[in-house]
A and B are shown apart, each in its own frame.
Chain A
C-alpha cells in the first residue's frame, strides 16, 4: 500500500451532497465538553441553591429549641458567605471560553487545567462545609439530649466522633459522586489525549 494512492483518492473525493446550515444562528454546540460541563454546573448550582434554602428551614422542620436559634443562624450565615464566595468563582469559570484557535496541545492543556481547577474548587467548597455541618448537627443533637448525660465526658467524645464521621462521609460521598458524574470522565479523556501528544 502506498500513501500516494490514498492521497489521489482523497483529493478527488466528491463533495456534492454535503449539506451546510444556511442559518448560522440556529447552530448550537451541543457535544463539546465545555457545553456539557456547563450544563452539569448549572444543574449543580440549582441543587445547591435549593439545598441552601432547605437548610435555612431546618429549625422549623426539626423543631429546634429557640435557645439554639441564634447559634444555628450564625452558622447558617457562615454557610451562605462561603457559598457566595464559591458561587462567584464558579461563575467566572463558567464564563471562560475554551479556545479552539490555539494549537491543539495548548488548547487541550487549557481545557484540562480548567476542568481540574474546577474540580479542586468544588472539592474545597465541599470540605469547607464540613465544619459547618458538624456544628449544625451538634446543635440539633445537643438540643435533644438532656444536659445531664452530656456532662459525661466519654459520651461527648463518642458523640463528637460519630457526628464528624457522618458529616465527612456525607460530604465526601456526594462530592466524589458529583465529580465523577459531572467532570471526571472529561478530565480522563482529555488527559489520555494529551498523553498521545507526549514525546
Chain B
C-alpha cells in the first residue's frame, strides 16, 4: 500500500513541479547580505521611481487602506526577494509588473466581498471649475468598481491601462493572444457595467 501510493505521487505531478527554475533560491540568500549596499540602493532607486504604479496595483486589489498598505509591503518584499533573478536585459517595469501582479493575485485576505454601500466619495457633482476634484472623483469611482472584479480581470485592466498590447498581455499572463483579447474585452465590459451601476458616467 505504501509503495503504491508513493509511486503515484512521484509520477503524477512531476512535470510542473520540477519545471520551475530554482536559481532564485541559491542567489536569494546571499545577495541581500553579502553585497549589501550597491544592490540595495539600486533597488530602492528603482522602487522609488515606480512606487506610484505599485500603489495603484495595491489599490486595485484591496479595498481598505490597511490592506492596501499590507499588499504594498508584500509586493516590495517579493520584489526584493526576486530581484537577484532580474536580468537587466528585460525592461524593469515588465519584470516588476509580473512579480507585483503575481503577488497581488495570490495575496489572501479574509475579504468580505460585499460592495460597500457607503463610501467616501465627494458628494458634489463634478464641476468644470475644479478639474482636480473631478479627476479624483473619477478615480475613486474607477477603483471602487475595479475592486469588485475578479483577480485576473484586474490584471487585464491594469495592463490595458499601462498600454500593453494584447500580445504583451498574453505573454505576461501566459495565455494565448486570442484569449487575452476576449478576456480583456469581457473585463472592460464588466467594469463599464459596474461603473454604470454606481450611477456614474465618464
Contacts and interface: CB of A to CB of B under 8 A. Distances in A.
A56 interface: no
A196 B55 contact: no
B78 interface: yes
Nearest to B78: A100
A13 B56 contact: yes
Given A6-B142, A9-B138, A110-B16, A124 B5 contact: yes
B17 A3 contact: no
Interface residues of B, number: 76
B138 A127 contact: no
Classify the interface of chain A: helix, strand, loop or mixed. Answer: helix
B174 A99 contact: no
B82 to A, nearest CB: 5
Contacts of A97: 22, 24-25, 28
A109 B97 CA distance: 18
Given A97-B28, A127-B1, 8 more contacts: A20-B48, A28-B77, A30-B74, A101-B24, A101-B102, A105-B174, A120-B8, A127-B5
Interface of B: 1-2, 5-6, 8-9, 12-13, 16-17, 19-22, 24-25, 28, 32, 40, 43-44, 47-48, 51-52, 55-56, 70-74, 76-78, 80-82, 85-86, 95, 98-99, 101-103, 105-109, 135, 138-139, 142, 150-153, 155, 160-161, 171-176, 178-179, 188, 192, 195-196, 201-202
